[in-house]
Protein backbone atom coordinates (compact mmCIF):
# COMPACT_ATOMS: atom_id res chain seq x y z
CA UNK A 1 0.00 0.00 0.00
CA UNK A 2 1.49 3.41 -0.93
CA UNK A 3 2.39 5.92 1.74
CA UNK A 4 0.40 9.12 1.57
CA UNK A 5 3.32 11.29 2.64
CA UNK A 6 5.66 10.37 -0.19
CA UNK A 7 5.83 10.36 -3.94
CA UNK A 8 6.11 7.14 -5.94
CA UNK A 9 8.60 6.79 -8.76
CA UNK A 10 8.05 4.08 -11.38
CA UNK A 11 10.99 3.55 -13.74
CA UNK A 12 9.87 0.11 -14.97
CA UNK A 13 9.32 1.58 -18.46
CA UNK A 14 12.59 3.54 -18.53
CA UNK A 15 13.34 5.99 -20.13
CA UNK A 16 9.81 6.93 -19.12
CA UNK A 17 9.89 7.94 -15.45
CA UNK A 18 6.42 8.12 -13.94
CA UNK A 19 6.18 10.22 -10.78
CA UNK A 20 2.91 9.89 -8.86
CA UNK A 21 1.99 12.15 -5.99
CA UNK A 22 -0.64 10.70 -3.62
CA UNK A 23 -1.83 14.15 -2.59
CA UNK A 24 -0.24 17.33 -1.35
CA UNK A 25 2.99 16.20 0.27
CA UNK A 26 4.19 17.32 3.69
CA UNK A 27 7.49 19.25 3.65
CA UNK A 28 9.62 16.15 4.32
CA UNK A 29 7.85 14.22 1.55
CA UNK A 30 8.41 17.07 -0.90
CA UNK A 31 12.14 17.19 -0.07
CA UNK A 32 12.39 13.41 -0.41
CA UNK A 33 10.72 13.65 -3.82
CA UNK A 34 13.20 16.30 -4.99
CA UNK A 35 16.14 14.24 -3.69
CA UNK A 36 14.92 11.14 -5.53
CA UNK A 37 14.45 13.10 -8.74
CA UNK A 38 17.96 14.53 -8.32
CA UNK A 39 19.22 10.95 -8.14
CA UNK A 40 17.62 10.13 -11.48
CA UNK A 41 19.29 13.18 -12.99
CA UNK A 42 22.68 11.99 -11.68
CA UNK A 43 22.29 8.69 -13.55
CA UNK A 44 23.47 10.51 -16.64
CA UNK A 45 20.77 9.07 -18.90
CA UNK A 46 18.12 10.90 -20.90
CA UNK A 47 14.52 10.30 -19.90
CA UNK A 48 11.01 11.66 -20.11
CA UNK A 49 9.28 12.68 -16.91
CA UNK A 50 5.55 11.99 -16.57
CA UNK A 51 4.18 13.64 -13.42
CA UNK A 52 0.74 12.73 -12.10
CA UNK A 53 -0.66 15.65 -10.09
CA UNK A 54 -4.26 14.44 -10.34
CA UNK A 55 -4.57 13.88 -6.57
CA UNK A 56 -2.87 17.10 -5.49
CA UNK A 57 -4.77 19.84 -3.68
CA UNK A 58 -3.54 23.27 -2.75
CA UNK A 59 0.27 23.41 -2.86
CA UNK A 60 1.76 25.34 0.07
CA UNK A 61 3.56 28.54 -0.98
CA UNK A 62 6.78 27.30 0.65
CA UNK A 63 6.78 24.25 -1.60
CA UNK A 64 6.15 26.38 -4.66
CA UNK A 65 9.18 28.55 -3.82
CA UNK A 66 11.26 25.45 -3.05
CA UNK A 67 10.28 24.03 -6.43
CA UNK A 68 11.42 27.23 -8.17
CA UNK A 69 14.72 27.05 -6.26
CA UNK A 70 15.21 23.40 -7.22
CA UNK A 71 14.55 24.16 -10.89
CA UNK A 72 17.13 26.95 -10.75
CA UNK A 73 19.72 24.68 -9.11
CA UNK A 74 19.20 21.91 -11.66
CA UNK A 75 18.47 23.89 -14.81
CA UNK A 76 21.46 22.75 -16.88
CA UNK A 77 21.14 19.06 -15.99
CA UNK A 78 17.38 19.17 -16.58
CA UNK A 79 18.06 20.58 -20.05
CA UNK A 80 20.62 17.84 -20.77
CA UNK A 81 18.78 14.83 -19.36
CA UNK A 82 15.02 15.42 -19.51
CA UNK A 83 13.63 14.97 -23.02
CA UNK A 84 10.25 16.45 -22.06
CA UNK A 85 7.77 16.58 -19.20
CA UNK A 86 4.14 15.48 -19.32
CA UNK A 87 1.99 16.58 -16.40
CA UNK A 88 -1.45 15.27 -15.51
CA UNK A 89 -3.48 18.08 -13.95
CA UNK A 90 -7.19 17.96 -13.21
CA UNK A 91 -7.66 20.69 -10.59
CA UNK A 92 -7.88 24.38 -11.56
CA UNK A 93 -6.15 25.25 -8.27
CA UNK A 94 -3.23 22.96 -9.06
CA UNK A 95 -3.06 24.34 -12.60
CA UNK A 96 -2.79 27.82 -11.07
CA UNK A 97 -0.04 26.67 -8.68
CA UNK A 98 1.86 25.08 -11.56
CA UNK A 99 1.48 28.24 -13.63
CA UNK A 100 2.86 30.30 -10.73
CA UNK A 101 5.91 28.05 -10.40
CA UNK A 102 6.59 28.09 -14.14
CA UNK A 103 6.09 31.86 -14.30
CA UNK A 104 9.04 32.36 -11.96
CA UNK A 105 11.15 29.55 -13.41
CA UNK A 106 10.08 28.02 -16.71
CA UNK A 107 11.32 24.49 -17.30
CA UNK A 108 14.12 24.32 -19.86
CA UNK A 109 12.43 21.35 -21.57
CA UNK A 110 9.22 20.87 -23.55
CA UNK A 111 6.25 20.58 -21.21
CA UNK A 112 2.63 19.74 -21.82
CA UNK A 113 -0.31 19.21 -19.48
CA UNK A 114 -3.05 16.61 -19.85
CA UNK A 115 -6.36 15.80 -18.14
CA UNK A 116 -5.66 12.04 -17.93
CA UNK A 117 -2.95 9.40 -18.12
CA UNK A 118 -3.85 8.01 -21.56
CA UNK A 119 -3.23 11.32 -23.34
CA UNK A 120 -0.05 11.99 -21.34
CA UNK A 121 1.38 8.56 -22.16
CA UNK A 122 0.60 8.93 -25.89
CA UNK A 123 2.37 12.32 -25.99
CA UNK A 124 5.28 10.90 -23.98
CA UNK A 125 5.69 7.96 -26.36
CA UNK A 126 5.87 10.35 -29.33
CA UNK A 127 8.50 12.52 -27.61
CA UNK A 128 10.60 9.47 -26.71
CA UNK A 129 10.41 8.20 -30.28
CA UNK A 130 11.43 11.63 -31.62
CA UNK A 131 14.41 11.57 -29.24
CA UNK A 132 15.41 8.10 -30.44
CA UNK A 133 14.72 6.49 -27.07
CA UNK A 134 12.88 3.19 -26.62
CA UNK A 135 10.72 2.38 -23.62
CA UNK A 136 11.19 -0.86 -21.72
CA UNK A 137 8.56 -3.34 -22.82
CA UNK A 138 8.13 -1.50 -26.15
CA UNK A 139 10.35 -3.14 -28.72
CA UNK A 140 13.33 -4.02 -26.54
Residue 138 is assigned to a structural domain of this protein: no
Is the confidence at residue 125, as pLDDT, over 90?
yes
Q: Rounded distance, CA 92 to CA 96, Å? A: 6
CB-based burial label for 79 (10 Å; 0-12, 13-18, 19+): exposed
Residue 37 is assigned to a structural domain of this protein: yes
Q: Rounded distance, CA 65 to CA 124, Å? A: 27
Name every residue whose Cβ is closer than 8 Å to that of residue 125 and which is 6 or more positions away in sequence: 16, 135, 138
Domain count, the chain: 1
pTM above 0.75, yes or no: yes
pLDDT of the residue at 139: 46
Q: Rounded distance, CA 34 to CA 38, Å? A: 6
Q: For the residues 5-18, what does the mean pLDDT come to?
A: 96
CATH number at residue 28: 3.30.750.24
pLDDT band at 137 (very low <50, low <70, confident <90, very high): low
Q: What domain range includes position 116?
A: 8-130
Q: For the residues 67-93, what does the mean pLDDT come to?
A: 95
pLDDT of the residue at 138: 58
Residue 13 is assigned to a structural domain of this protein: yes
Q: Are 16 and 4 in contact (CB under 8 A)?
A: no
Give 105 or 69, the one with higher predicted confidence: 69
Share of the chain above pLDDT 90, in %: 70
Amino acid sequence: MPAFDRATFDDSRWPLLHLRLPGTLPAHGHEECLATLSGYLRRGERFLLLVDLSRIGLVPIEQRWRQVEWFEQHESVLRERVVATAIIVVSPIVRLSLSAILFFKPLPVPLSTFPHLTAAEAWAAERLQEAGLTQAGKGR
